Amino acid sequence: MSGLIRFLRTQNPTLTQTDWQIWYPKADDDHVPVGKYIIPFQYWLTHRDNHLLLERALAGEIGVWFAATDDVIDHKQLIHAGQKLWPMVAVHFPIFRDGRGYSTAALLRERLAWTGPVWAIGDVLIDQLDQLARVGFDHFVLRADQDHELGLCKFEQFSVRMQDSWRYPRTLNPIHQAEVLTA
């Protein structure tokens, strides 16, 4: 796997390495390769009763990734259960301009109370990092050709924000701030 940016809510962004790999199975792949893998949620859905898979999950070797078309609301229970099983979930961007993943991350954080890591994977470009970080992503697997060092600076371009989001509350002016604090 190429470089990974980790940007937890309470820390600064850092460039790091990981031994996790993302599994994009081909049609004839019938089992998850050996190692730590983030596998398609759809695969989990159909194979979750498989003993071997469950054992590996219990051993902390299996995370899942959601495709842009996966509806996380439809699988609330499974994702709640996954909270204890998967070290992370990931959301896949088939192309950087497919915005569904942003809402998926927001839903995972807000409605499904997912507190663990949420990785952005797929066509992840440095110019979208700030937006991704705000809706709930805290790990970013950049596309291989992206300038990872420059990517690290992409979270600091704005000192103010106009909306509440998972990472930051809306920036308030001092008068407003005082009013909210005394409310």
Partner 1 sequence: MYRYDEIDQSLVQERSAQFAEQVVRRLKHQISEDEFKPLRLQNGLYLQRHAYMLRVAIPYGMLSSAQLRTLAKIAKYYDRGYGHFTTRQNIQFNWIDLEEAPLILEELAAVQMHAIQTSGNCIRNITSDPFAGVAADEYIDPRPICELLRQWSTLHPEFAFLPRKFKIAVNSAAEDRTVLLCHDVGIELKRGDQDVLLANIYAGGGMGRTPMLAELIKTDMPWQDLPAYLTALLRVYNRHGRRDNIYKARIKILVKALGVDDFAKQVEEEWTHTKITYAPWTDVDWQRVAQHFTKPPYKKLPALFQEQFIQALQPNERVGFMRWFERNVREHQVAGYSSVVLSLKPHRTQAPGDATAEQMNAIAELADRYSFGELRVTHEQNLVLADVESTQLVALWQEAKRLGLALSNIGLLTDIIACPGGDFCSLANAKSIPIAKAIQERFDHLDYLHDVGDVSINISGCINSCGHHHVGNIGILGVDKDGEEWFQVTLGGAQGHEAAIGKVIGRAFLADEIPAVIDRLIKTYVNERYDGERFIQTVWRLGLEPFKQAAYADDAKEKEGVV
Taking the least distance from each CB to partner 1, the nearer of 18 and 42 is: 42
Q: Tell me, residue by residue from 22 to 61, as one string, x for binding to partner 1 by CB under 8 A and - for no binding.
A: ----------------------------------------
How far is Cα 19 from Cα 117, in angstroms, rounded to an integer? 15
Task: Examine residue 152 and tell whether it contacts partner 1 (CB under 8 A).
Answer: no
How far is Cα 8 from Cα 88, in angstroms, rounded to an integer? 13
Task: Examine residue 76 and tell whether it contacts partner 1 (CB under 8 A).
Answer: no
Kindly determine how many residues on this chain lie close enough to bind partner 1 according to the rule CB under 8 A. Answer: 41
User: Is-contact 120 141, C-beta < 8 A?
Assistant: yes
Taking the least distance from each CB to partner 1, the nearer of 61 and 98 is: 98
Applying CB under 8 A, among 125, 140, 141, 151 the residue interacting with partner 1 is 125
Task: Examine residue 148 and tell whether it contacts partner 1 (CB under 8 A).
Answer: no
DSSP codes of every residue in 161-173: -SS--SS-PPP--
How far is Cα 82 from Cα 86, in angstroms, rounded to an integer? 5
How far is Cα 48 from Cα 169, in angstroms, rounded to an integer? 37
Applying CB under 8 A, among 56, 92, 134, 139 the residue interacting with partner 1 is 134
